[in-house]
Structure 1
Amino acid sequence: MSEHLEVVIRSILAFSILLIGTRILGKQTISQMTLFDFIAGISLGAITANLAFNLTIDIHHFLISFFIFILILFVTAYISMKSRKARKILAGDPTDIIQDGKILEENMRKMRYTLDYLNQQLREKDIFEVEEVLYAIVEPNGTLTVLKKPLFRSVTPKDLQLQPSEKGLPIELIMDGRVITKNLEEHDLSLEWLKEEVKKRNVEWDNVFYAVRSSNGFLYFDYYDDNIPFPVDKE
């Protein structure tokens, strides 16, 4: 067998082994990445790292291996776009771990997903009681998606039949004491108008550290001198 053919075979074999390994380890180990992204990152990272310092292997072997992985990734990405079944194989399916407020122990066991980790991810979503959860789903990238029970959901303007007045994004006008002229011009605001708003608040212009106009049109100012006798972050 020629060396080039051996590199091609080893590259395909390595990719297959990484795919099997990540499926065995489970979703919890890959955090924000899908299984496919995880494999791609490790594979290409390892190849390029060896290319940088492993001088005992011919450079053309590294290049062959690298481009074989690129080709595999390109082909598999294309197949994934065309086939839902392929996406399931490469990325996996979402997995329910709480359904109708009940923990599905068997699904957790299959993923090696512990109660400690479940509680941690719930706390990251400001949920400290499992009884608040109606559904919880582990997505293919390892994140937890939660639907609370109706009793524990936040009230929205729609629930109160209100019409929010927000339009667009907040506009930063002053940062670090410097006027952002571009933002003023893009929204037809003048420097004179901004100075007048500062004057209305009986504040010196040089004392303004940060200024932003919110999406509902209100202005927020933060000053260098906050008039806080004992700031909690003072060292």
Structure 2
Amino acid sequence: MADYLEVALRTILAFGMLFVAARFLGKQTISKMTYFDFIASITIGAIIANLSFNVALKTHHLVIAFTEFVLIAFFIAFLSLKNRKARKFFAGDPTVVIQNGKILEKNMEKMRYTLDYLNQQLREKDVFNIDEVLFAIIETNGTLTVLKKPEFRHVIKQDLTIAVQPEKALPIELVMDGEIIHANFVQNNLKSSWLGSQLKKRGLQLSEVVYAVLAANGKVYIDTYKDHIHSPVDEEPSE
């Protein structure tokens, strides 16, 4: 019974340490990773796994190893932030794989990057014809960035000289899960009475609203618990 209790307590400790480390190291460690991020994540995960259930290893030894590795990761991240050469060494450089519609085979060979995978990533970018591509670049985190040739790019309002209303703010969430987000009202000098008037225009009560947001263009989007959709697409089966 003592072993079960020890594993349970070590697991709680491991979860807490991993959560603190993730907050400490930042969002980069949970996003698409560079070489260094990959190594750091794998090693931290291995240490945490052993801390959770490997009772043959002493807890304080694993805690020391974990803390030391997090500090090393933080130091390297800080060094990369301050020094371009260090950033280049640890993260690598982006690699051009397509230039003006031509595949650069030598660059792909250096990365052991196959044509099948290139085509897959191009399709994910809605590109089915390589001749449409001006540049395609493999970023340091492994993702593909595509710049199409001008004649294949989407038309935007600027191209058509259509007047655009400027947007100077991010959308502001007003109601989430039926609860008013008072902090957002205070930060943006909004009044609850204003929200009440917006609901009144739509013939709604606050109790009916699951989500409401003030868009950057000044329009208010409101979603209610009752969707009034008689035949929803892809409805989840009831348990």
TM-score, scaled to structure 2: 0.69
For residues 1-235 of structure 1, the aligned pairs below 5 Å read: 32-50=32-50, 80=80, 84-161=84-161, 162-234=163-235, 235=237
**Which deviates further from its counterpart, 46-55 or 199-208?**
46-55
* Counterpart Cα distance in 2 of 1:177 and 1:63: 42
Gap regions ≥5 residues in structure 1: 1-30
Contact 1:157/1:164 (<8 A) preserved: no
Cα gap change, 1:76/1:210 in structure 2, threshold over 3 Å: closer, same or farther? closer
Considering Cα pairs closer than 8 Å and 6+ residues apart, tell me whether 1 or 2 has the greater RCO: 1
Structure 1 runs of 4+ with >6 Å offset = 57-68
Separation in structure 2 between the aligned mates of residue 221 and residue 46 of structure 1, nearest angstrom:
45
Counterpart of 1:147, as a letter, is: L
1:158 partner SS:
coil
Distance 1:62 1:208 in 2: 48
Distance 1:135 1:51, change over 3 A: same
Structure 1 residues 59 and 105, CA, compared in 2 at 3 Å: closer, same or farther? same
Is this contact kept in 2: 1:211–1:220, CA < 8 A? yes
Secondary structure, aligned partner of 2:213:
strand
Q: Deviations over 1:126-181 (max 9, x none)?
A: 33332322101111221111111112222334334433332201111122222222
2:32 counterpart SS class = coil
Deviation of 1:55 (Å) = 6.0
CA 1:63 to 1:194, structure 2 compared with 1: closer, same or farther past 3 Å?
A: closer
Aligned-residue RMSD, C-alpha? 3.2
1:110 shift after superposition:
2.2
Q: Which is worse superposed, 56-65 or 224-233? A: 56-65
Cα deviation code 1:39-79 (max 9, x no counterpart): 23333443454466556677887688667756765775566
Equivalent residue letter for 2:215: S
- Looking at structure 2, the residues matched to 229 and 83 of structure 1 have their Cα atoms a distance apart, in angstroms, of 59
Show CA shifts across 1:18-52 (max 9, x none). xxxxxxxxxxxxx9222122223333443454466
For the residues of structure 1 that align with 2:225 and 2:59, how far apart are their CA atoms?
57
Separation in 1 of the partners of 2:155 and 2:123?
20
The count of aligned residue pairs is 205
CA 1:105–1:224: 2 relative to 1, 3 Å = same
Structure 1 pair 185–101 and aligned structure 2 pair: CA distance change class (3 A): same
- Tell me, yes or no, if the aligned pair for 1:121 and 1:144 is still in contact at 8 Å: yes
Worse-superposed segment, 177-186 or 143-152: 177-186
Worse-matched range after superposition: 159-168 or 102-111: 159-168
- In structure 2, distance between residues paired with 1:56 and 1:172: 50
Inter-partner Cα distance in structure 2 for 1:63 and 1:211: 44
Residues 191-216 of structure 1: CA deviation (Å, up to 9, x unaligned):
22222222222334433222211001
